[in-house]
Amino acid sequence: MSERFTKGMARNIYYGGSVFFFMIFLALTFHTTKEMPSRDNRQNITESVERGKHLWEVNNCIGCHSLIGEGAYFAPELGNVFNRRGGEAGFKMFFKGWMNAQPLNIPGRRQMPNFHLNDQEIDDLAEFLKWTSEMEVNNWPPNIEG
Amino acid sequence: MSTLKYQSQAVAKPYFVFALILFVGQILFGLIMGLQYVVGDFLAGAIPFNVARMVHTNLLIVWLLFGFMGSAYYLVPDEAETELYSPKLAIILFWIFAAAGVATILGYLLVPYSTLAEFTLNELWPTMGREFLEQPTITKLGIVIVCLGFLFNLGMTILKGRKTAINMVLMTGLIGLAVFFLFAFYNPVNLALDKLFWWFVVHLWVEGVWELIMGAILAYVLIKITGVDREVIEKWLYVIIAMALISGILGTGHHFYWLATPEYWQWVGSIFSAIEPLPFFAMVLYAFNMINRRRREHPNKAATLWALGTAVMAFLGAGVWGFLHTLSPVNYYTHGSQITAAHGHMAFYGAYAMIVMTIISFAMPKLRGIGEANCNRAQVREMWGFWLMTVAMVFITLFLTGAGVLQVWLQRIPESGEALSFMATQDKLTIFYWLREAAGVVFMFGLIAYISSFWVKEKTA
């Protein structure tokens, strides 16, 4: 680097640049949080959805599955599983059957544990997944398979 | 006989040793998971995949934190030209952090996660069950306390000593690390907000403040092994981290594409994260440039190799593999696929695992009283470790990328109805997963060679 470009100038670019862009980031984040209520489906968060999210967390579902693309990539995406597995008409029935059938014990197949949830808990988790599927996330995923 | 300039630098040693022990654990669990990808029911009862993954990723984070702390305890006194404010505090914090870390990992392994949540009173302040932030709330509090004590100790050391650019940049990075970790305690019911601020920890760590830490450590090692003028090296350091933060902060936008967020993030995220490879490319130029302009022949060839290696691998893993899927129209198809996994592996290894091994390589001979460098035989063994691990990681990344491309092709690109399901797609990827596992085994051999190099002595005639 040329001698005319001094360490002091580099330092000023570092401090000035990072503070400037961090401010922009904070401003955009603030604006985003103002815009989110019209997209994130928060008006439909019921107590059941809230309990469902908690169950999602304390059973570490994210350790195998992804939820809207984030998480582990070992098991299917669940952000849109409500639509993939029956929707309004059939999801809850499918889901209850599925949870109770675990572990499937098919030799060599990736195996989901049984988390010993009761009917109420399974219903809460289903409500959480239904709510999640109704978030407006810029049309992701590209197709129903997630 | 001590070969340290400041005796208190010695507190770095347990941090480095423990970091490497955890690193071995991380790779063991990686191999278990890799096998579960192809033999789905392998150990499914004893160590379900979600547990193995949590152990794998948490060990990674914790060993890197131990590595960063060890690095700071080693280099801050040297840069400040004064003894560490309180070596005793550093040792106490080591034991607290090590005990909390081990207890947490044992908790993951020995009881079901929901039981762990119950035992640790997650109900009172639920923060568990989110990717990478799986630690019980009490462990998170412990991390905060350890970080505060650590920053206090370093801060007091720097205040009474010389304030070099390296020390200031390292401190900024470490303070940022502690501050952004606080977002781990914010877990709103609304998943969209939860995710938005979760990235304040995850992204602003690895694509923000951790780059400052990496830059500072690399600059320190380069000054030491090349003897190039500090003014030159620190100027480069500022330029690199300026580029890193200017691109990386708004680059957070590449995580806000599919998140109940306004569309402008598609533009902001794409444009700024497309610049993110630049600081890493500059780091490659800088590392090679400084070593070419060296004014001394440092006897520690292994440390030099690590310093060059971390720059190159960080550029490939974080820069190139990050760019591969960062543009919003591409990310629409690749988000949450094996391409993400490929990028994650090489980026973490190249930027963070390797920078920690760079300073360990440089500092350990001094910490162990051996001198400037290990004997030639030990260095050769260490370099075997370097090449085996690094080449294995390149192949792990290539195989996961192959799996990812095929996954996107089969599962994401076709219309609904024609696309293969997730599980059907996974069956088609088996060959890539087997090859990845084989590369993982080679990585383990490399790690064994690396660890064993600490015991290699010069042949006595």
Find the CB nearest A58 among B129, B420, B422: B129
Find the CB nearest A136 among B190, B260, B336: B260
Q: Give the N- to C-terminal CA distance of chain B in Å, as an integer.
A: 23
User: What is the spatial distance between Cα A132 and Cα A31, in angstroms, rounded to a whole number?
Assistant: 22
All residues of chain B having their beta carbon less than 8 Å from the beta carbon of residue A49 are: 189
- Percent of chain A exceeding pLDDT 70 equals 99
Distances (CA, A) of B335 to B56, B134, B201, B453: 21, 22, 19, 40
Encode burial over B203-217: b for 16+ CB neighbours within 10 A, e otherwise. Answer: bbbbbbbbbbbbbbb
> A7, B231: Cβ pair inside 8 Å?
yes
What are the residues facing A77 on neighbouring strands? Answer: A66
Given a contact cutoff of 8 angstroms between Cβ atoms, the answer to whether B400 and B341 are in contact is: yes
Find the CB nearest A72 among B40, B53, B238: B53
Helix, strand or coil, per DSSP, at residue B44 = coil
Indicate the DSSP class of residue A67. Answer: E
**pLDDT (tens digit per residue) in B274-327:** 999 999 999 999 999 999 999 999 999 999 999 999 999 999 999 999 999 999
- What tokens were used for B84? 């560490």
All residues of chain B having their beta carbon less than 8 Å from the beta carbon of residue A75 are: 49, 422
Q: Quick one: B145 exposed, middle or buried, by C-beta within 10 A (0-12, 13-18, 19+)?
A: middle
CA distance A79 to chain B (A): 11
Give the pLDDT of residue B458: 86
Indicate the DSSP class of residue B4. Answer: -
The sign one gets for the Cα dihedral B67, B246, A72, B388 is negative
Given a contact cutoff of 8 angstroms between Cβ atoms, the answer to whether B442 and B361 are in contact is: no
Nearest-CA residue of chain A relative to B414? A143
ipTM of the complex model: 0.96
CA distance B182 to chain A (A): 16
Which of B 230-269 lie inside 8 A of A, CB atoms?
A: 231-232, 234-236, 238-239, 241-242, 245-246, 249-250, 252-253, 256-266, 268
Distances (CA, A) of A39 to A3, A136, A137, B113, B411: 52, 5, 8, 32, 26
Mean per-residue pLDDT, B42-47: 95
CA distance A36 to chain B (A): 6
All residues of chain A having their beta carbon less than 8 Å from the beta carbon of residue B196 are: 29, 32-33, 36
**Residue of A1, A4, A5, A7 to mutate for B, most B C-beta atoms under 10 A:** A7
Helix, strand or coil, per DSSP, at residue B189 = coil
- What tokens were used for A36? 């989110």
Flag whether residue B188 sits within 8 Å of chain A, measured between CB atoms. no
Checking if the pLDDT of B1 tops 70, the result is no
> A68, B262: Cβ pair inside 8 Å?
no
CA distance A97 to chain B (A): 19
> B49, A54: Cβ pair inside 8 Å?
no
- Percent of chain B exceeding pLDDT 90 equals 98
Packing angle of the helix pair B338-347, B376-407 (nearest 10 deg): 160
User: What is the spatial distance between Cα A64 and Cα A112, in angstroms, rounded to a whole number?
Assistant: 9
**pLDDT (tens digit per residue) in B388-419:** 999 999 999 999 999 999 999 999 999 999 99
Given a contact cutoff of 8 angstroms between Cβ atoms, the answer to whether B303 and B358 are in contact is: yes
Helix, strand or coil, per DSSP, at residue B404 = helix
> A73, B414: Cβ pair inside 8 Å?
no
> B238, A13: Cβ pair inside 8 Å?
yes
Q: Which amino acid is at B99?
A: A
CA distance B384 to chain A (A): 32
**pLDDT (tens digit per residue) in B97-147:** 999 999 999 999 999 999 999 999 999 999 999 999 999 999 999 999 999
Mean per-residue pLDDT, B71-88: 98
Q: What does pTM read for this prediction?
A: 0.97
The sign one gets for the Cα dihedral B334, B339, B340, B343 is negative
- What tokens were used for B443? 């990585």
What are the residues facing B454 on neighbouring strands? Answer: none
Computed on alpha carbons and rounded to an integer, the radius of gyration of chain B in Å comes to 22
Q: How confident is the model at residue B2 (pLDDT cuts 50, 70, 90)?
A: low
User: What is the spatial distance between Cα B92 and Cα B108, in angstroms, rounded to a whole number?
Assistant: 25
Which of B 214-233 lie inside 8 A of A, CB atoms?
A: 231-232
Q: Which amino acid is at B24?
A: V
Flag whether residue B189 sits within 8 Å of chain A, measured between CB atoms. yes
Please, what's the largest Cα pairwise distance for chain A? 72
> B262, A31: Cβ pair inside 8 Å?
yes
- What tokens were used for B341? 């996994």
Helix, strand or coil, per DSSP, at residue A70 = strand
Nearest-CA residue of chain B relative to A50? B189
Given a contact cutoff of 8 angstroms between Cβ atoms, the answer to whether B287 and B220 are in contact is: no
Q: How confident is the model at residue A1 (pLDDT cuts 50, 70, 90)?
A: low
What is the residue-averaged pLDDT of chain B?
A: 97
Q: Give the N- to C-terminal CA distance of chain A in Å, as an integer.
A: 48
Q: What share of chain A is helix, strand, coil (3-state, %, to 5)?
A: 60, 5, 40
Checking if the pLDDT of B461 tops 90, the result is no
Nearest-CA residue of chain A relative to B242? A14
Checking if the pLDDT of B10 tops 70, the result is yes
Flag whether residue B40 sits within 8 Å of chain A, measured between CB atoms. yes
What are the residues facing A70 on neighbouring strands? Answer: A67
Given a contact cutoff of 8 angstroms between Cβ atoms, the answer to whether B66 and B24 are in contact is: no
